[in-house]
């Protein structure tokens, strides 16, 4: 274990989990991030040293490991200082792979659904008697963190396909819950995305368990060659088959047929949407494989408190409902919007969406438009660039022009609060992976005035 660790991009959800891991194991943790957030403030309060200016003067002497995330631009001066130094410099994914190799690993992959499913899996295992360690991509409502350390030999990790990071993992159990075109700035084509997932499947331990969502993931276009045992999960199909699904007073209730444990009847999930039923089905399958107590599964499912920024209720009164979600891919937007409509039929929904990345906006403009047309009123913020430079002709107006809705407009961030105040939506839905989360508290305060 290193004594002094430096993080470049320490405020990222995956990086902050690693920072907590090293800090808990006695390392002195330093790091840079571009902006101060609730996450970085929490790390600083725990005793870590964080700054927000890209300047090598903040790098202390004696660093024996530097960890960086590909979200940091290549011209970052601190990153390049470490590249030219003798200090070992490793990507976040490589470090996570090193840590997970020492344990029995449950890895959750998929173009979307990773964070919810990994958090469900970690919670179910904890609640059913397996003291797991977990690195997840969101703040768990049940466990209050994105990093939990346990004493068992099991670890739950989120397998991120960006930059092919998940190929650093060699899990005993792997879940793949979606394979859609995304990160085409890295992969180029959807076929290349699938090839990386095929490689990930081949890395599952011999005799382990590969869980594939059906029908979307387990299809004829993908070669799931693996030495693991393969099971499928889905709604009304699959070896783990969620069926008899209905919405009952705030719960999605379903029965689950399993291949080895019979039927779990009347499971009550306090979250909407068939996608969340599938996520929970996969989590239950992994928990049962890892030795979770099946008699405790129903209570654990009902007690699941979700993930921060995953269909998170910010305000829920007789006057106003405000839900926030991290959705940033067209399929995620569609699932989230449909879930809101299913819970509140007939009530108009205003959605505020901040596109994330110029390349993703360019690649999926048509699909974004189709998903956002399901809103009654759509507000688009300017694109959040993250690591990218602007691209000619690629902006939020590109999506707007492809939409059929007559209730749509682009609003600048500085004008958003006034727009919401003047329109007073009955249901407000904010979506995006950029800095739209900075509006959550101001919008909540505004709506609850």
- Taking only the tens place, the pLDDT of each residue in 89-139 is 999 888 999 999 989 999 999 887 888 999 999 999 999 999 999 999 888
User: Does the pLDDT of residue 366 top 80, yes or no?
Assistant: yes
Q: Provide the pLDDT confidence category of residue 193 given band limits of 50, 70 and 90.
A: confident
Q: Any residues with CB less than 8 A from the CB of 304 and at least 6 apart, and which?
A: 120, 123, 141, 142, 269, 270, 271, 280
Place of tokens 């009955």: 426
Residue percentage of the chain with pLDDT more than 90: 70
Q: What is the pLDDT of residue 151?
A: 93
- Taking only the tens place, the pLDDT of each residue in 367-401 is 999 999 999 999 999 999 987 889 999 999 999 99
Among 67-71, 244-248, 394-398, the range of highest mean pLDDT: 394-398
Mean pLDDT of 146-173: 89
Q: And the tokens for 180? A: 């859609």
User: Does the pLDDT of residue 148 top 70, yes or no?
Assistant: yes
How many whole angstroms separate alpha carbon 420 and alpha carbon 430?
11
Q: And the tokens for 371? A: 């998903």
Selected residue with higher pLDDT from 272 and 221: 272
How many whole angstroms separate alpha carbon 156 and alpha carbon 96?
11
Q: Any residues with CB less than 8 A from the CB of 228 and at least 6 apart, and which?
A: 174, 201, 204, 205, 206, 207, 208, 209, 210
Q: And the tokens for 216? A: 């979307």
User: Phi and psi dihedrals of 240, rounded to 5?
Assistant: -105, 100
Q: Which CATH number fits domain 103-302: 3.90.850.10, 3.30.1360.20, 3.40.1190.10, 1.20.20.10?
A: 3.40.1190.10
Q: How many CB atoms lie within 10 A of CB 53?
A: 9
- Taking only the tens place, the pLDDT of each residue in 5-23 is 999 999 988 899 999 999 9
Beta carbons of 108 and 121 less than 8 angstroms apart: yes
For 280, half-sphere exposure in the C-beta direction (CA atoms, 13 angstrom radius) is 31
User: Does the pLDDT of residue 27 top 80, yes or no?
Assistant: yes
CATH architecture of 312-447: Alpha-Beta Complex (3.90)
- Taking only the tens place, the pLDDT of each residue in 305-352 is 888 888 888 998 888 999 999 899 898 899 899 989 988 889 999 999
Q: What is the pLDDT of residue 181?
A: 57
Beta carbons of 350 and 376 less than 8 angstroms apart: yes
Write the CATH number of the domain with boundaries 4-92: 3.40.50.720
Helix segments in 235-304, DSSP class H: 274-289, 297-302
Give the number of residues written for the chain: 449
Residue percentage of the chain with pLDDT more than 70: 96
Distances, alpha carbon 51 to alpha carbons 36, 57, 315, 392, 398, in Å: 8, 11, 33, 33, 36
Q: And the tokens for 271? A: 């979250």
Residue spans per domain, the chain? 4-92, 103-302, 312-447
Q: What is the pLDDT of residue 184?
A: 56
User: Does the pLDDT of residue 277 top 80, yes or no?
Assistant: yes
The alpha carbon dihedral of 403, 405, 406, 412 has a sign of negative
Give the chain's mean pLDDT: 92
């Amino acid at each position: 274990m290193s004594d002094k660790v430096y993080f470049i991009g320490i405020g990222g959800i995956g990086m902050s989990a690693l920072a907590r891991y090293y800090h808990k194991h006695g390392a002195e943790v330093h790091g840079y991030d571009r902006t101060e957030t609730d996450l970085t403030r929490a790390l600083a309060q725990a005793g870590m040293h964080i700054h927000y200016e890209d300047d090598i003067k903040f790098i202390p002497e004696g660093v024996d490991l530097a960890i960086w995330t590909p979200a940091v631009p290549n011209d970052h001066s601190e990153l390049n200082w470490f590249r030219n130094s003798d200090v070992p410099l490793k990507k976040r994914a490589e470090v996570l792979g090193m840590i997970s190799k020492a344990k029995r690993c449950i890895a959750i992959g998929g173009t979307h659904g990773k964070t919810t499913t990994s958090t469900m899996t970690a919670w179910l295992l904890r609640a059913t008697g397996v003291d797991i360690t977990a690195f997840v991509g969101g703040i768990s409502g049940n466990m209050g963190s994105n990093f939990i350390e346990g004493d068992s030999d099991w670890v739950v990790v989120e397998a991120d396909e960006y930059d092919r990071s998940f190929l650093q993992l060699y899990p005993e159990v792997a879940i793949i819950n979606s394979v859609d075109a995304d990160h085409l700035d890295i992969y180029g084509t959807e076929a290349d995305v699938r090839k990386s997932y095929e490689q990930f499947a081949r890395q599952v331990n011999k005799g382990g368990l590969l869980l594939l969502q059906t029908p979307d993931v387990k299809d004829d276009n993908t070669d799931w060659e693996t030495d693991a045992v393969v099971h499928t999960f889905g709604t009304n199909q699959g070896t783990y088959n969620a069926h008899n699904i209905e919405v009952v007073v705030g719960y999605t209730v379903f029965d689950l047929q399993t291949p080895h444990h019979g039927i779990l009847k009347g499971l009550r999930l306090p979250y909407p949407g068939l996608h969340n039923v599938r996520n929970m089905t996969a989590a239950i399958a992994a928990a049962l494989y890892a030795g979770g107590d099946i008699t405790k599964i129903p209570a654990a499912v009902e007690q699941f408190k979700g993930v921060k920024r995953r269909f998170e209720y910010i305000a829920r009164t007789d006057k106003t409902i405000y839900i926030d979600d991290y959705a940033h891919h067209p399929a995620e937007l569609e699932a989230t919007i449909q879930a809101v409509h299913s819970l509140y039929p007939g009530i108009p929904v205003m959605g505020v969406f901040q596109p994330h990345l110029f390349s993703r906006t360019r690649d999926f403009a048509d699909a974004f438009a189709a998903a956002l047309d399901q809103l009654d009123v759509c507000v688009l913020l300017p694109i959040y660039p993250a690591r990218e430079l602007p691209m000619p002709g690629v902006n939020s107006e590109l999506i707007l022009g492809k939409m059929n809705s007559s209730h749509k407009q682009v609003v600048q961030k500085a004008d958003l609060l006034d727009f919401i105040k003047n329109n007073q939506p009955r249901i407000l839905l904010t979506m995006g992976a950029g800095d739209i989360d900075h509006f959550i508290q101001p919008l909540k305060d505004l709506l609850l005035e």
